[in-house]
Chains A and B, each alone.
Chain A
Amino acid sequence: MDFITHLINGISLGSVYAIIALGYTMVYGIAKMLNFAHGDVIMVGSYIIFLLMSNVGVPAIPAVIISIIVCTTLGIVIEKIAYKPLRRATSLAVLITAIGVSYFLQNSSLLLFGSDPKVFSSVVNLPSIKLANGMINISSTTIVTVVVCILIMIALTLFIKKTKAGQAMLAVSEDKDAASLMGINANATISLTFAIGSGLAAIAGALFCSAYPSLSPYTGAMPGIKAFTAAVFGGIGSIPGALLGGILLGVIEILGRAYISSQLSDAIVFAVLIIVLLVRPTGILGKKLHEKV
């Protein structure tokens, strides 16, 4: 019975990773860059919710919505100021800039909110569910996380398949210059991708901090790295890959922590990643790349 509890917790943590990984994967697919600051947007979003709920007394749902709006704006602004001028630069230059943005967000939060961890109160206030005569106890946060993740996946898939903007995203990710020649506004499309990714990061932040309620300026870094790993795991650039990679990673982490060693759970996660990449060098659902000679 413990196993089922762990499994469900794993899926829940994995769902958070999946939501964050979506942000990585979409930005990577479209702008071909690793947005190292993505994890820190999660942290910013969580602080906003924390401040609104604890200091102002805003209820959970409006607080999350405001956080999404702020993060979306933040994503667009970061892209405009730091990444857009570097569109033609080498990928390493963009990577370093992203690291700079990450430092910037961490340290401005440090100045604004201090370094001591804040206790984040869950945005989900529902009773937990007991199954099998109370032997399996699932918190409401866990359930909500999984449900939200599924809803986001469906919405995003529909958005990309059914809307003009979604199709434009696909086109830009395939070939930016060709898409521009076809009359697609590539810059606006990239902005939109950053906006969606950052909005998702706000949701992920709310869910992550509800499950792990300690909030500090460095809260976003580790889930960010893990979600990036999840994105690579599933095949970076692929949306179903992000979901699959995220969930697998979460489950492996929780099960590893429960059954092998709590200290080694990160090592286990990374070891699995390495094995997967050795067998499938572009991730589970990644496309095989051929170089034309």
Chain B
Amino acid sequence: MALLEVKDLGISFGGLQAVSEFNISIKKGQLYGLIGPNGAGKTTVFNMLTGVYTPDCGSIVLDGVPITGKKTTYINQAGIARTFQNIRLFNDQTVLDNVKIGLHNQIKYNTFTSIVRLPKYFKSEKQMKEKAMELLKVFDLDKEADLLASNLPYGKQRKLEIARALATNPKLLLLDEPAAGMNPNETAELMDTIRFVRDNFDMTILLIEHDMKLVSGICEELTVLNFGKVLCQGYTKEVLEDTEVIKAYIGD
């Protein structure tokens, strides 16, 4: 059975049909790409999957659990984590704390425990720090742990967002243009990191990307979106050779 099963998803904004009849099925452990020209509705799909927007119609099922129209907080707890196209970090907090916030629902203790500083506080905080540092190490951010998130260079901010998303222990990771603004070296490095995350965290990843080198390099399957509709779906190589897809990207 597929990990993510989306059927007939659609949404419109004030008469404009942004996405319609969107279907996708992602198997566990897959690296899946969602591509398409600007304004095709890719981020809107992400926003519906994560509950930022409530879809007008259709259904989303994650690992057998229906999550259509649920709140973002619930969906994250159900197992979807994401990054954002325009990076959204907790800028006034340290790199380490950003990941600790990601661990919010993984290592828990209540407010009273923290105010009175019961032993559980110290135990949980220690656990949290170890777990967070472990994650930061994966993304080569451990040396910057005490910096403010806003002081990180752009590429590292993107990595931190992925680390934070992973901290929530998701089943499915959504990456919205992870390579945007990166140079070719950084992108190559990012591809390695994404593969590493998939293999070592046993992760399923759906990503939006414009960088064709990255898409063809790591994605196993693709869905192409154009004007809010699925244009083509299938194995990466076949999709990228599809004439309709080439037309949508380059024009006639």
Given a CB threshold of 8 Å, the question of whether A touches B is answered with yes
A293 and B51 CA atoms in complex are apart in Å by 11
Chain A residues within 8 Å of chain B by Cβ, number: 1
The proximity string for B residues 25-49 relative to A, scoring 1 for CB distances below 8 Å and 0 otherwise, is: 0000000000000000001000100
A293 and B52 CA atoms in complex are apart in Å by 8
Chain B residues within 8 Å of chain A by Cβ, number: 4
CB distance from A9 to the nearest CB of B (A): 42
List the A side residues contacting B43 at CB < 8 Å: 293
What secondary structure prevails in chain A residues at the interface with B? Answer: loop
A13 and B47 CA atoms in complex are apart in Å by 48
List the A side residues contacting B47 at CB < 8 Å: 293
A293 and B84 CA atoms in complex are apart in Å by 8
Closest to A290 in B: B13
List the B side residues contacting A293 at CB < 8 Å: 43, 47, 52, 84
List the A side residues contacting B84 at CB < 8 Å: 293
The proximity string for A residues 273-293 relative to B, scoring 1 for CB distances below 8 Å and 0 otherwise, is: 000000000000000000001
A1 and B84 CA atoms in complex are apart in Å by 63
Closest to A292 in B: B86
List CB contacts (< 8 Å) of B44-81 with chain A. 47, 52
A220 and B52 CA atoms in complex are apart in Å by 44
CB distance from A144 to the nearest CB of B (A): 44
Closest to B84 in A: A293
A78 and B191 CA atoms in complex are apart in Å by 56
CB distance from A292 to the nearest CB of B (A): 8
A293 and B88 CA atoms in complex are apart in Å by 9
CB distance from A287 to the nearest CB of B (A): 13
A186 and B53 CA atoms in complex are apart in Å by 36
Closest to B46 in A: A293
A134 and B43 CA atoms in complex are apart in Å by 69
A293 and B43 CA atoms in complex are apart in Å by 8
List CB contacts (< 8 Å) of A247-293 with chain B. 293
A282 and B47 CA atoms in complex are apart in Å by 24
A158 and B52 CA atoms in complex are apart in Å by 41
List the A side residues contacting B52 at CB < 8 Å: 293
Q: Which residues of A contact B (CB under 8 A)?
A: 293
- Could you show 4 A-B contacts with beta carbons less than 8 Å apart? A293-B43, A293-B47, A293-B52, A293-B84
